Chains A and B, each alone.
Chain A
Amino acid sequence: MADTASFEVVKPGLSTTVQDLGRPGFYHLGLPISGAMDRFSLIAANRLVGNPDGAAGLEAVFLGPVLRFSADATVAVTGATMAPKLDGVEQPGWAAFKVAAGQELSFGTLKAGARIVIAVAGGIDVPEVKGSRSTYALGGLGGFEGRALKAGDVVKIGTPAGPAKLGVAVPEEIRRQAPAGGTVLRAMPGLYWHRITEGSQRSFFEDTWKVAPEADRIGYRFRGGRSLDFVPREQPFGAGSDPSNIVDSCYPYGSIQVPGGTEPIVLHRDAVSGGGYFMVGTVISADMDLIGQLQPHQPVRFEAVDMDQALAARHAEKERLDRLAAFIAG
């Protein structure tokens, strides 16, 4: 194999970015964690092609890119249901397959979910920035020149590390199923829970919300539930005049802010790290990947959980990774 293995971007899709498991450790400086919206799918794709879990792959939302490979490669596509095609011939999802030099990788239309992850044996070879190859497009940092891919870009591929698991698809029960109908997102009520009335504390979890079309890597906005009513108070010094304002605070990954009490926004991988909006609670870590697979207009309900339930859910996700490891090793 030539030492300059690469692929050329023929069509970029809607927004295709280089992502790994992210850039934790700088959120207090305003630099978000970035990384794959669906980490499980990235890890699965990497393991299928013999990469370490944290190798950089491509994340494409709603529309797949068209990529032409300069050298032989091994590729796996996971995440949303969107058939990979080699020179027009359909390939299995959630499985590694060989690509020959000169072949074109393209995609069918989106059937379920929102984001595919494309892993290439050897990983996407872009420079690390603050310990990560993830793209933070809003900050123009990391990934391929700090931005989503464009037609004509030539993206380098690293040297393959381990053997790929060729030709065998990850069983359905291990994959995260792309949510089809109603999705339940588990959330823990937070520090500012007391700011809304008991009626709103109930309605928030009772109502069905729908993903707003502007939902993206920064935050997922939801519409359609009843507005939240705030407990009257004299706004403290430093808080804005709207009842949904608080004295500036840290925004955790997964926190659900509700500007004006009307439309909840779950902050995701490229979110801002702090500000003055009230947060109703935080989506548990085990359900964050699921958000990355939600399409606009899909119905969602939030479900209140406590810390024990959140930790049990996190443990169940770890067990899913263990089952994936056993499948790859088997």
Chain B
Amino acid sequence: MTKTTIEAPLPGTFYRAPSPEEPVFKNEGDQVAIGDTVGLIEVMKSFTPVVAEAAGTLVAFHVDNEDAVMAGQPLYDLEA
């Protein structure tokens, strides 16, 4: 088992769900497949999905919903 930390690809505001009324994309402990959306980052009035480029178990988020993130900031840990 190796643990990798996935970083924010761009700065902005991090969201864990597609909208406030909908369930989160992923919970801690969930399986993540390549291409899965893990969250959204809003910047310059547009939303960019954070798409998994590696598969594994999402063991921990480093940021909360609606947190401000900088490019390169740790978003979540993946175990594979």
Q: Do A and B form a real pair?
A: yes
Contact status A216-B10, CB under 8 Å? no
Name the one of B7, B13, B71 contacting A213, with C-beta atoms under 8 angstroms. Answer: B13
Q: Does B44 contact A (CB under 8 A)?
A: yes
Name the one of B7, B68, B72 contacting A296, with C-beta atoms under 8 angstroms. Answer: B68
Contact status A111-B72, CB under 8 Å? yes
Q: Does B74 contact A (CB under 8 A)?
A: no
- Give the interface size class of chain B: 10 to 19
Known A213-B13, A296-B11: A111·B44 in contact at CB below 8 Å:
no
Shortest beta-carbon distance from B70 to chain A in Å: 6
Contact status A63-B45, CB under 8 Å? no
Contact status A297-B72, CB under 8 Å? no
Contact status B10-A110, CB under 8 Å? yes
Task: List A residues 201-248 near B (Cβ within 8 Å).
Answer: 213-216
In angstroms, Cα B19 to Cα A310, docked, is 46
Chain B residues with Cβ below 8 Å from A296 are 11-13, 43, 68, 70
Contact status A14-B44, CB under 8 Å? yes
Q: Does B48 contact A (CB under 8 A)?
A: yes
Q: Does B2 contact A (CB under 8 A)?
A: no
How many residues on the A side are at the interface (Cβ–Cβ under 8 A)? 17
Contact status A215-B70, CB under 8 Å? no
Name the residue of chain A whose CB is nearest to the CB of B7.
Answer: A109
Contact status B10-A63, CB under 8 Å? yes
Q: Does A183 contact B (CB under 8 A)?
A: no
Q: Does B77 contact A (CB under 8 A)?
A: no
Name the residue of chain A whose CB is nearest to the CB of B43.
Answer: A213
Q: Binary interface profile of B, 58-70, with partner A (CB < 8 Å = 1, else 0)?
A: 0000000000111
Contact status A297-B68, CB under 8 Å? yes
Name the one of A15, A213, A298 contacting B42, with C-beta atoms under 8 angstroms. Answer: A213
Known A213-B44, A216-B45: A62·B72 in contact at CB below 8 Å:
no
Binding site for A on B (CB under 8 A): 7, 9-13, 42-46, 48, 68-72
Please list 26 pairs of residues, one from A and one from B, whose beta carbons are closer than 8 Å in the complex, sorted by A's number.
A14-B44, A14-B46, A15-B44, A62-B10, A63-B9, A63-B10, A63-B48, A109-B9, A109-B71, A110-B10, A110-B71, A111-B72, A114-B11, A213-B12, A213-B13, A213-B43, A214-B44, A214-B45, A216-B45, A295-B11, A295-B71, A296-B43, A296-B70, A297-B11, A297-B70, A298-B70
